[in-house]
Amino acid sequence: MHPSPTPTWTADLRFRFRHLFALKFIGVSVFTWLFFIGYFELLRHPAHSVFVMPLTTLDTLIPFQPEMLIAYFSLWLYVGVAPGLQANFKELVVYGLWVGALCLTGLGLFLLLPTQVPAGMAGVSDFPGFSLMQGMDAPGNACPSMHVAVAMFTVIRIDDVFRQARAPLSLRWVNWLWFAAIAWSTLAVKQHVLLDVLAGALLGIAFAVPSLRWRPTPARKPTRAFGRAAIIPHR
């Protein structure tokens, strides 16, 4: 018998994205919708007096960059990548539980200690979508930055999949650069201050790291053997 060829990283990732695609798409959409219900409720009706986050020297040095709104909005595409890479239903459910716990923790912190960035941080811009963002996402629910927390959770989980699939280092760098652009954009469009970003990053790490330990056994990955698809386990 001929040994099965080693599965390629492209085959692995292609299988992950295609498997349960409809469920993943609907699940991420519903989850995001439910999160925003709680987020905007706390934003518009804070339970306690709102604490204004202090500025650091770096906050005053970073110029207002409305064009970074593209990276800011890209989070809502980015957060779908990691659940899209889960290889089976059990992995997908456990992933959802971890990121759900992360979001509930963030909302709990907004409930206990409402925060906002200083008034007037953002300038005026006619950049497409900027007035919409300012109208919907008022400068509250600042610390921790959930934008950064969810992005940090996502980047760690995507990197783990890329590492398992033995994807090229360049692809892993693209993942981390996308995260960095999102994190920077929160400061550049003046929706958050540095302390918000740092707190968000710590919150994301606090859930991402244990989620790598307490999860289903890594799924099997696809390959092709003798002209047809086959499945062999990760080693």
Q: How far does CA 120 lie from the centroid of its chain? A: 27
Per-residue pLDDT tens digits for 98-130:
999 999 999 999 999 999 998 877 666 666 666
Nearest to 75 by CA among 170, 148, 156: 148
Backbone φ and ψ for 206, nearest 5 degrees, come out as -60, -25
185's CB contacts (< 8 A; 6+ apart) are: 65, 68, 69, 70, 71, 72
What's the CA gap between 183 and 189, in Å, rounded?
11
Cβ 122 vs Cβ 191: under 8 Å? yes
- Under 8 Å between Cβ of 96 and 28: no
Residue pLDDT, tens place only, 194-233: 999 999 999 999 999 999 998 877 655 544 433 344 444 4
Per-residue pLDDT tens digits for 144-170: 999 999 999 999 999 999 999 999 999
Please return the burial class of 140, using the count of CB atoms within 10 Å of its CB with bins 0-12, 13-18 and 19+. middle
pTM of the model: 0.86
